[in-house]
Amino acid sequence: MNLSTYLTGIGISTLLCWTAWALTLINVDPYTSGTWGVLSFFVSLFFALIGTLAFVGFYIRLWFTSNEQYYENITISFRQAILASLCFVGILGLQALNIFNIFNGILMVLSIILLEFYFLARRS
């Protein structure tokens, strides 16, 4: 699969995820829908953020490095997008449960950073 087809598929999937998130945000009342409505909000936001951050990370990586290793850049961008989305949605979930404080946030961010360092060290 060539790069443009791959990026087009990611772009369409990301737009669908943002649409699902917007529909969830507009149509679902979290107080009456229960667990499924809240879960739909968080899952659609998670996947929409992954696609958006992967796109942004890929193009920033291309702009700064200008190298020809496109598929390696996509892999790294997706990994970092997944970790950043996990951190953001995790913190948002803690806030929704009213158990978020600054120490939980710092601990989550540091654990995501350490996980990224692990992946970087394993690669080299």
Whether pLDDT at 88 is above 90: yes
**Checking phi first, is residue 28 left (phi over 0); if not, alpha (psi -120 to 50) or beta?**
beta
Cβ atoms of 21 and 52 within 8 Å: the answer is no
Whether pLDDT at 112 is above 80: yes
The whole-number pLDDT of residue 67 equals: 67
pTM value is 0.90
| Residue 111 belongs to domain spanning | 3-123
Split into its structural domains, the chain has a count of 1
Distance CA 21, CA 41 (A): 6
First-residue to last-residue Cα distance in the chain: 26
- Confidence label for 70 from pLDDT (cuts 50, 70 and 90): confident
Distance CA 63, CA 40 (A): 35
Structure tokens at 121: 């060290």
Cβ atoms of 24 and 41 within 8 Å: the answer is yes
Which tens digits make up the pLDDT trace of 14-63? 999 999 999 999 999 988 998 999 999 999 999 999 999 999 999 898 88
- Confidence label for 116 from pLDDT (cuts 50, 70 and 90): very high
Query: Which residue bears the tokens 């667990």?
Result: 35
pLDDT (mean) for 5-13: 93
